[in-house]
């Protein structure tokens, strides 16, 4: 998973990709992979099997595990 | 033993000696206070300067590594990169300000074209995303190099002339300079990975209106799609993603209103805005005027076009710090996208009527945001 130092230096930022189904609106959150970009086609929707689309890529703060 | 000998020798008692000591101490600090503070300031600045040197060296190394590993640079790019870091852009004379924006635009465009041509020539990999990321990495390295040089100049000047005020001013500015330099260095990671940055919130919102629509290039690195919302015809534009471009929204809006003959009832601009300390990241502010940063050319062009056509300019701003604007988009900013879309829809509904035309511009670096 892609991570960068957080603003307080003690935490780090984990980057996620949100895939959204344009038909049923189901959202799936997964780790960011190089090559992901907003509007890129994603995996099949787990609910209705339509092709999802990347709607957001963002970072969340997380405390370090060690 | 020594004290008693001194007392016997001088014939003074302890309290008189202590008083003399304090008087001496006060006299010394009174006359040499600025020298002492200059010395402390020099030490402080020197530490900051070392940090800046480490940062600029790291940014340079990261840029070279990216050019070699991802861009598959044909030859060792180190020498070219070093030349690139010292390249200067000479701004036009502004003592006769008439027509100066056109001149600035010309100089800046020439520089941007040169950067792209040089990076393109360096790389074997011609993928536009890789080329645009390389350009951005080199810009970061150039900025850090410039910051280091300027701070070093004033440090050495202050030291050489023993100028207390030069040194103290620099010392006071150092924390903010380091903060900005740190933000630039942090941006390197996001750029290398091709992740959307906080500044890309405008393009993220408008990309939702453009997906699946036919796109056309309206200016350099700038694309537009035509769509509809509640009976209004929307001309939606953003920089061409997922490359790390900011495009030319000024030229694009001039073209839409001028050459294309569109008569918009409103221009709505969505952009990231620097928050003040105490403001929350992802807060949305509404306003009027051209919401765009940069050197001022694009802002000037948009204001010119809007004023000539008497079109009101509306702005939607998403607050964030400088660090958040140039590093990977934070959750709070990304989650503001839905709220911004709602605000945009409300503005369109309130300020225009059915059958009207509206220009919607998503302003900012569109890295990792296609359309």
- Closest CA relative to residue B124, chosen from B158, B193, B183, B74: B74
Q: Is the ipTM of this complex over 0.90?
A: no
Selecting from A5, A36, A59 the residue whose C-beta is nearest the C-beta of B329 gives A59
In chain B, residues with a C-beta closer than 8 Å to the C-beta of A35 are: 194
- Give CA–CA dist B340/B320, Å, rounded: 14
In chain B, residues with a C-beta closer than 8 Å to the C-beta of A40 are: 242, 370
In chain A, residues with a C-beta closer than 8 Å to the C-beta of B70 are: none
Mean pLDDT for all residues in chain B: 93
DSSP B233: E
Q: What are the sequence ranges of the domains in chain A?
A: 3-62
pLDDT of residue B13: 84
pLDDT of residue B247: 96
- Give CA–CA dist A64/B237, Å, rounded: 40
Q: Is the peptide bond before B169 cis (omega within 30 degrees of 0)?
A: no
Contact A41, B221 (CB under 8 A): no
Mean local confidence (pLDDT), B188-192: 94
pLDDT band at B6 (very low <50, low <70, confident <90, very high): low
pLDDT of residue B257: 96
pLDDT band at B351 (very low <50, low <70, confident <90, very high): very high
pLDDT tens for each residue of B62-106: 999 999 999 998 888 999 999 989 988 999 999 999 999 999 999
CB count within 10 Å of CB B188 equals: 24
User: Which stretches of B162-260 are DSSP H helices?
Assistant: 164-193, 201-210, 249-257
DSSP B197: B
Which string of DSSP letters, residue by residue, matches B308-355?
HHT--EEEEEEEE-HHHHHSBPBHHHHTHHHHHHHHHHHHHHHH--TT
- Give CA–CA dist B118/B206, Å, rounded: 31
Q: Do B211 and A32 touch (CB under 8 A)?
A: no
CB count within 10 Å of CB B295 equals: 14
pLDDT band at B4 (very low <50, low <70, confident <90, very high): low
Q: How far is A42 from chain B (nearest CA, A)?
A: 14
Which string of DSSP letters, residue by residue, matches B6-66?
HHHHH---HHHHHHHHHHHHHHHHHHHHHHHHHHHHHHHHHHHHHHHHHHHHHHHHHHHHH
Whether B124 and chain A come into contact, CB under 8 Å, resolves to no
User: What φ, ψ does residue A62 adopt, rounded to 5°?
Assistant: -145, 140
pLDDT of residue A7: 53
pLDDT tens for each residue of B130-154: 999 999 999 999 999 999 999 999 9
pLDDT of residue B35: 87
pLDDT of residue B8: 65
pLDDT of residue A6: 56
Contact B121, B355 (CB under 8 A): no
In chain B, residues with a C-beta closer than 8 Å to the C-beta of A4 are: 186, 189-190, 327-328
Whether A7 and chain B come into contact, CB under 8 Å, resolves to yes
Which residue stretches of chain A have pLDDT < 50?
Answer: 65-66
Q: Which residues contact B370 (CB under 8 A, 6 or more apart)?
A: A37, A38, A39, A40, B207, B241, B242
Whether B323 and chain A come into contact, CB under 8 Å, resolves to yes
Q: Do A37 and B196 touch (CB under 8 A)?
A: yes
Q: In a 10 Å sphere around its CB, with 0-12 CB exposed, 13-18 middle and 19+ buried, how is residue B107 labelled? A: middle
- Closest CA relative to residue B352, chosen from B266, B263, B269, B233: B266
Q: What are the sequence ranges of the domains in chain B?
A: 43-193, 198-362
Which string of DSSP letters, residue by residue, matches B206-230?
HHHHHTTS-EEEEETTEEEEEEEET
CB count within 10 Å of CB B286 equals: 15
In chain B, residues with a C-beta closer than 8 Å to the C-beta of A13 are: 328, 330
Distances (CA, A) of B282 to B319, B329, B331: 5, 10, 9
pLDDT of residue B170: 96
Q: Do A58 and B369 touch (CB under 8 A)?
A: no
pLDDT tens for each residue of B12-37: 788 888 999 999 999 988 888 888 88
User: Helix, strand, or coil here: A30?
Assistant: strand
Interface of B with A in 235-264 (CB under 8 A): 241-242
pLDDT of residue B7: 61
Whether B295 and chain A come into contact, CB under 8 Å, resolves to no
Could you name the CATH architecture of B198-362?
Answer: 3-Layer(aba) Sandwich (3.40)
Instruction: Give the CA-trace dihedral at A37, A40, A46, A51, to 10 degrees.
Output: 180
Buried b (16+ CB within 10 A) or exposed e, B147-164: bbeebeebbeebbeeeee
pLDDT of residue A1: 53
- Closest CA relative to residue B135, chosen from B86, B67, B198: B67
User: Helix, strand, or coil here: A55?
Assistant: strand
Q: Over 80: is that where the pLDDT of B254 sits?
A: yes
pLDDT of residue B125: 80
pLDDT of residue B100: 94
């Amino acid at each position: 998973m892609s991570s960068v130092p957080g603003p307080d230096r003690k935490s780090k930022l984990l980057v996620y990709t949100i895939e959204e189904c344009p038909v049923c609106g189901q959202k799936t959150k997964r780790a960011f992979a190089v090559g992901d970009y907003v509007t890129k086609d994603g995996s099949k929707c787990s609910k209705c099997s339509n092709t999802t689309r990347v709607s957001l890529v963002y970072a969340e703060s997380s405390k370090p595990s060690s | 033993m020594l004290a008693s000998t001194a007392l016997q020798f001088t014939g003074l008692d302890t309290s008189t000696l202590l008083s003399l000591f304090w008087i001496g101490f006060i006299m010394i600090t009174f006359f040499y206070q600025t020298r002492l503070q200059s010395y402390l300031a020099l030490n402080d600045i020197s530490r900051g300067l070392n940090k800046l040197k480490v940062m600029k060296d790291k940014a340079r190394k990261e840029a070279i590594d990216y050019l070699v590993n991802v861009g598959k640079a044909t030859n060792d790019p180190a020498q070219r990169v070093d030349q690139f870091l010292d390249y200067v852009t000479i701004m036009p004379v502004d003592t006769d300000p008439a027509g100066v924006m056109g001149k600035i635009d010309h100089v800046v465009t020439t520089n941007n074209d040169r950067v792209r041509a040089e990076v393109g020539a360096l790389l074997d990999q011609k993928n536009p995303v890789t080329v645009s990321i390389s350009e951005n990495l080199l810009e970061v390295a150039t900025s850090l190099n410039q910051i280091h040089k300027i701070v070093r100049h004033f440090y050495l000047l202050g030291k050489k002339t023993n100028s207390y005020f030069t040194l103290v001013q620099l010392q006071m500015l150092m924390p903010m300079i380091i903060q900005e330099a740190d933000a630039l260095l942090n941006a390197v990671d996001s750029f290398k990975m091709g992740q959307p940055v906080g500044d890309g919130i405008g393009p993220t919102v408008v990309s939702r209106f453009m997906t699946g629509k036919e796109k056309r290039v309206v200016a350099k690195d700038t694309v537009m799609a035509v769509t509809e919302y509640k009976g209004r015809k929307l001309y939606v534009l953003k920089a061409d993603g997922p490359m790390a471009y900011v495009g030319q929204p000024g030229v694009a809006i001039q073209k839409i209103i001028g050459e294309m003959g569109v008569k918009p009832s409103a221009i709505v601009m969505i952009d990231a805005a620097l928050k003040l300390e105490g403001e929350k990241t992802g807060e949305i502010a509404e306003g009027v005027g051209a919401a765009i940063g940069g050197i001022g050319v694009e802002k000037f062009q948009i204001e010119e076009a809007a004023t000539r056509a008497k079109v009101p300019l509306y702005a939607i701003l998403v607050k964030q710090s400088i660090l958040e604007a140039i590093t990977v988009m934070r959750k709070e900013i990304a989650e503001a996208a839905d709220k911004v879309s709602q605000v945009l829809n409300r503005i369109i509904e309130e300020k225009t009527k059915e059958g009207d035309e509206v220009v919607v511009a998503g302003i900012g670096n569109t890295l990792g945001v296609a359309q």
